[in-house]
Amino acid sequence: MAILDEIKEAVVDGETDEIEELVQQAIDEGIDPNVIINDGLIGGMDIVAPLFRDGEMFVPEVMEAADCMKLGTALLKPLLGDAGMETKGKIVIGTIDGDLHDIGKNLVVLMLESNGYEVIDLGIDVEAETFAQAVEEQKPQIVGLSSMLTTTMMQMDTTIKCLEDKGLRDQVKVIIGGAPITQEFADEIGADGFSKDASACVELCDSIVNAA
């Protein structure tokens, strides 16, 4: 459908002044709202993610693309009925205990939400017990732990052990990321995955959810 391609292109180009008109046109053509979201809006973000990963797009452009996604989704939400928007899965995310950095985490949240995930952001300086409580209450498929400091990264290990102690570890996949984090460290503490940036995190979550 040509209009879906136009929506996709508008997202990639960050055309915030055009996206609502295009989405409304798709609605007027009788296209299912979930199709508009998945094939149009998320389809655009699926193009943005690898461009960002490869250094061909930068944070301001990604933010504009995400704004398009939000504007388009806001138009469609009232049409989705009681079932609401279909999501790929639910993710709990936060910066670990003792770490107050959130720029990288916030970009990850933005990219995940723009790619169809429901994200519960616990914020910064999140204790292991808080992560465990969120897993128990929210029943996510994935928990994302962020750390920007070598002095706090061992709190990731503490958090995983806390999930084990409470019998929750086998209910959720734990992924980690941040400046000092490596695949070797992820293996060492028993994490299920590691991503070096926001785009890679989306791909990692997709692979986890699709394998479930």
Ramachandran quadrant class, 14 (left: phi over 0; alpha: psi -120 to 50; beta: rest): left
Beta-sheet pairing, 117-121 with 142-146: unpaired
Residue 84 maps to a domain: no
Number of domains composing the chain: 2
What's 31's domain CATH number? 1.10.1240.10
> Using CB atoms within 10 A of its CB, is residue 7 exposed (0-12), middle (13-18) or buried (19+)?
buried
Alpha-carbon span 179 to 149, nearest angstrom: 7
Domain shared by 31 and 63, yes or no: yes
Q: What is the pLDDT of residue 84?
A: 62
> Counting beta carbons within 10 angstroms of the beta carbon of residue 140, is it exposed (0 to 12), middle (13 to 18) or buried (19 or more)?
buried
Could you give the 3-state DSSP secondary structure of residue 179? coil
User: Quick one: which of 135, 95, 143 has its CA closest to 117?
Assistant: 143
Residue with tokens 């053509």: 29
Instruction: CATH number of the domain at 140, please.
Output: 3.40.50.280
From CA 40, how far away is CA 31, in angstroms rounded? Answer: 11
Does residue 73 share a domain with residue 94?
no
**Orientation of helix 198-211 relative to helix 42-53, angle to 10°:** 120
Residue 101 shares a structural domain with residue 195: yes
Residues 6+ apart with CB under 8 A from 137: none
Segment 137-153 shows an average pLDDT of 96
* Alpha-carbon span 102 to 197, nearest angstrom: 13
Q: Does residue 205 sit in the same domain as residue 120?
A: yes
Question: Rounded distance, CA 61 to CA 64, Å?
Answer: 5
Domain final position from 79, 106, 132: 79
Binned at pLDDT 50, 70 and 90, residue 199 comes out as confident
Specify whether 168 is located in the same domain as 139.
yes
Q: What is the mean pLDDT of residues 164-168?
A: 97
- Answer yes or no: is pLDDT of 82 > 60: no
The verdict on 104 and 179 lying in the same domain is yes
Do 55 and 110 fall within a single domain? no
Q: What is the pLDDT of residues 33-75, one digit of tens each?
A: 989 988 999 899 889 888 888 889 988 998 899 899 989 988 9
Q: Does residue 43 sit within a domain?
A: yes
The pLDDT assigned to 87 comes to: 84
Tell me if 175 sits within 8 A of 193, measured CB to CB.
yes
Statement: residue 195 has pLDDT above 60 = yes
Give CA angle at 11 (10, 17), nearest 5°: 60
User: Per-residue confidence at 162, pLDDT binned at 50, 70, 90?
Assistant: very high
One domain, residues 148 and 166: yes
Angstrom distance (rounded) from CA 70 to CA 54: 24
User: Could you tell me the residue range of the domain that residue 32 belongs to?
Assistant: 2-79
Is the same domain home to 75 and 177?
no
> Same domain, yes or no, for 60 and 113?
no
Q: Which of 54, 79, 104 is the last residue of a domain?
A: 79
On whether residue 188 sits in a domain, the answer given is: yes
**Which of 125 and 52 is assigned the larger pLDDT?**
125
111 with 203, same domain: the answer is yes
Predicted TM-score (pTM) of the model is 0.79
